[in-house]
Structure 1
Amino acid sequence: MKITVQSSKLVKPYHGRGIPSIFTNSAIPLTVLDKVTYDEYACLAYFFHPPATPNSILEMGFIKALAVYREWAGRLGVDANGVCSILLNDAGARFVTATADVALSCINLLQPTPELLSCLCPSDYNTEELMLVQITQFACGSFALGVTAHHTVADGYGMVRFGKAWGKATRGLAIDPILLVHHRASIFAPRVLPRVEFEHRGAEFKRREEEVCINQVHPSDKVVAHTAHFNPEMLSELKRRMSAGRPRPYSTFYCITAHLWRCITKVRGLHKDKVTKLIIPVNGRLVMRHLPMPMEYTGNVVLWAQATTTVGELLAKPLRHAVELISREVARIDDSYFRSFIDFASSGAVEKESLVPTASLAKTMDHSTSVFVSNLKGIPVYDLDFGAGRPFFCTRVYHPQEGFISILPPFASDGSMDVQVGLFRSAIGIFEEFCYSLLTPNAKL
């Protein structure tokens, strides 16, 4: 398959024919939650059945949406007061069009290669642009949309909100700017009487000198994104056995995450005394009560739950032990925790102690014992319609990292689940054997 770029250009918000932007000198100060997230780009790829929407129509909808979500056409910098901000200067976003010389059916979307997916998303990260999109038209009339967006501007929900607005603008519908909540800093102001109730050093922040090198267990082996498939019967059995005796069963997300945490740890062959950690993002929109967050909020509202135990305990105890750890830790990241984080991050201690976000150290942290979870299943990625129907599939685009779990939105409507797991290629056979053998009727969980 060959993908050929037809055009690549910088496009600016459309404020109306002959009407220039009147807000080019304004800025959105970053909140403490924006500053603590990953300082890198996130990529999603959407796939659509024919008929393909014309590129010119998609481009016009894109620049109309940028006129409302102006942060995506801006740049990161500092405002007039020296505060780190998103500058609303309408500098522009990148719009790329491309063609593929094959039908989309030639691609196995559940086992795509990183090289393929990287051809579907703009990947020039040496840029100041905060959003880059690529439309790839396939020979069969299908098309793919690749979106590359800077995580400092928005979390997954914020990115998806823009996509939904782009679809509405393309269909000729109005976008309601009132729901966007651009005034970020005032929302996450510390309390008049700050109260730091939790320890945030070692959780969201680290000292810069605590950076460590990645410990590659198999330095000569290649890490691949392996897709594990769980049919409805597997998921039902997993939930039934892990939730036995409870008035309410654990969620499918908790059960599958606990199961994969054990599988990855087993495959790694670590010493029983090693500490292993499962890191899960928690959406503050769902838990903050005193600072209620509308789902339409466009910035970052995520902190991370970190379930921790030893390798020996994780593997020796029943699987229910793992799901209990996860459930308890996620529940701990509640309204009080978010408020405590805001007070701590606003106290001046971060600057005084030269602390840096742990998220920004993702590429230099020791991945050999940690497992990271990205959950697309709970994000409305399919609320994107350019006029010819919603995407039939969506997936993350990323360079595979060992121990990285990406839970995908359903590919089929039968209740099954597909999960991409970063594994060393040589470990796939062992992983599959352990993963699926535990789901047989007589297996001990």
Structure 2
Amino acid sequence: MESKLESVSKAMVKPLSPTPNHLRHFKISLLDEMAPSVYIPIILFYSATDMSSAFGTHDFKAMSNKLKASLSKVLTLYYPFCGRFKCTPSSSSISIDCNDEGVPYIESKFSKNLSDILNGPQSEMQELLPFYPYNEHCDKQESMAVKLSEFQCGGVALGVCLSHKIADGETTASFLNAWAKTAKGLLNEVEPPQMDASLIFPSRGIEWALNSLKVIGGGVGNNEKLVTRCFLFNAMDLSRLRVRFGSFNATRVEAVTTLIWKSAIQAAKASSGDDESKQTFKASVVSHALNIRNKMVPPLPKNLFGNLWLSSITDLLETDGTYGSEELHDLVEIVRNGIREAAANYSGLLLNQGDGSLDELVEFSKEAKLMVTENVFACYGFSSWIRLGFYEVDFGWGNH
């Protein structure tokens, strides 16, 4: 049966109390400028049983009203999310006009069951988001949008898009948990975010950022079709995988990252053909997004709002006669060393700002981005949300 999503209503959720005048101009930081001009997509799924347990009966409208009311309250703390960009993200000096214009909030009904979506094509999940998250911001000024969808079976999906220009994974998880606590009447337990990242890392009006790294294609800056795949590793799968690394005690993230990297290398080599003179597969690196809040000296607050992440990049794995034959234990050492070296290098950024460390970081990021866009080498990017608190989000009808 063809999926059909019917929009029921659309509203603007505004903060319960107006943002004070002295907070209406939110400046982004240097690290925000370096973040990609896309949205972070989140979809939380809840079964009909979850709804019935919370409300005594299935009541989609009651759930939606509770979400809108609590969102209005928590937006008084996270006020940049209900503002608007003052200029397109490809321009310099980006800031948020915290004008309380509000967050678009859409209610919809899906003519399928929740299980059909979870077991069906990944592309259908895009319909559960308020808009496609991977286009550049040029045609959108909202910092955030929400879509609540009801399935035929009574299950519900909460889709949220947050601008990556002002939020990273830590900020996103903190916001969702704050919203959930507020929905349960625990706003007094919410720790307000700290909004002064731009004082720590002042913006520079840089225009290169990562805006030309278009995710709308299958690669960087091309027009190939983007393909989404979901691979599930249960506890037994992960245990078996980690055994393959022998005496190297790989973490779950290291193990899965390395397996995907090795598979990508082998796929690239296989698709290049047997004739070495015609081989087009490139050298490659692995990049991990690192939350730098707890890696800095001194550490930054966990609730610091914005993009407080930087990338680790492994040594370049060159193309030669043996390229693609590396063992997992060889690759995992490269992955771990890249993360450790990056963490050590970033730890002193605050202490060494005066010696040009940030200038070197910006220039290195520019050069790396240029080499990737020009296809000098392949870059496989990874991020892990395991420790960010997404699994703790509970609006009062259980964890998603």
Place the TM-score, normalised by the shorter chain, in its bin.
0.7 to 0.9
Question: What SS is found at the alignment partner of 1:309?
Answer: coil
1:29 touches 1:85 (CA, 8 Å); kept in 2? yes
Question: What SS is found at the alignment partner of 2:392?
Answer: coil
Q: Which residue of 1 aligns with 2:112?
A: 102
Change (3 A) 1:157 1:314: farther
More helix by share: 2
1:13 touches 1:92 (CA, 8 Å); kept in 2? yes
More strand by share: 1
Q: Which residue of 2 aligns with 1:413?
A: none
Give per-residue Cα distances to partners, 1:357-393, cap 9 Å, x unaligned: 967998x5649832221323333212222211111xx
Which one of 323, 330, 333 corresponds to residue 321 of structure 1? 330
Q: Which residue of 1 aligns with 2:258?
A: 258
Count residues in correspondence.
Answer: 359
Q: Which residue of 2 aligns with 1:285?
A: 293
Kindly state the Cα deviation for residue 35 of structure 1 after the two structures are TM-superposed. 1.0
Identity %: 23
Kindly state the Cα deviation for residue 22 of structure 1 after the two structures are TM-superposed. 2.9
Question: What SS is found at the alignment partner of 1:285?
Answer: coil
Q: Which residue of 2 aligns with 1:23?
A: 21
Q: Identify the structure with bigger relative contact order (alpha carbons < 8 Å, sequence gap 6+).
A: 1
Is 1:164 matched up with 2:177? yes
Change (3 A) 1:106 1:13: same
Is 1:302 matched up with 2:309? yes
Counterpart CA distance in 2 for 1:175 and 1:83 is 35
- After TM superposition, list the pairs within 5 Å mapping 1:363-374 onto structure 2: 366=375, 369-374=378-383
Give per-residue Cα distances to partners, 1:118-167, cap 9 Å, x unaligned: 21001166221100000001122210011111101110110111111111
2:297 touches 2:347 (CA, 8 Å); kept in 1? no
Letter of the 2:334 partner, please give it: L
Question: What SS is found at the alignment partner of 2:21?
Answer: coil
- After TM superposition, list the pairs within 5 Å mapping 1:5-404 onto structure 2: 5-15=7-17, 20-23=18-21, 26-50=24-48, 51=51, 52=60, 54-77=63-86, 83-107=93-117, 109=118, 111-114=120-123, 116-123=124-131, 126-175=139-188, 179-188=192-201, 223-244=226-247, 246=248, 249-269=249-269, 270=272, 271=279, 274-290=282-298, 292-307=299-314, 308-312=316-320, 315-337=324-346, 339-340=348-349, 343=353, 344=356, 366=375, 369-391=378-400
Change (3 A) 1:367 1:147: farther
Unaligned runs of 5+ in 1: 191-204, 392-445
Change (3 A) 1:147 1:359: farther
Counterpart CA distance in 2 for 1:263 and 1:173 is 46
Change (3 A) 1:89 1:289: same
Counterpart CA distance in 2 for 1:162 and 1:322 is 36
Question: What SS is found at the alignment partner of 1:382?
Answer: helix
1:238 touches 1:255 (CA, 8 Å); kept in 2? yes
What TM-score results when the alignment is normalised by the length of structure 1? 0.70
Q: Which residue of 2 aligns with 1:201?
A: none
Give per-residue Cα distances to partners, 1:65-105, cap 9 Å, x unaligned: 11111010112338xxx953333221211111111123212
1:159 touches 1:298 (CA, 8 Å); kept in 2? no
Give per-residue Cα distances to partners, 1:34-84, cap 9 Å, x unaligned: 111112212111101221552111111111111111010112338xxx953
- After TM superposition, list the pairs within 5 Å mapping 1:429-444 onto structure 2: none
Unaligned runs of 5+ in 2: 52-59, 273-278
1:30 touches 1:85 (CA, 8 Å); kept in 2? yes
Counterpart CA distance in 1 for 2:378 and 2:371 is 15
After superposing the two structures, state which structure 1 stretch, 65-74 or 117-126, moved more: 117-126
Letter of the 1:9 partner, please give it: A
Change (3 A) 1:252 1:169: same
What TM-score results when the alignment is normalised by the length of structure 2? 0.78
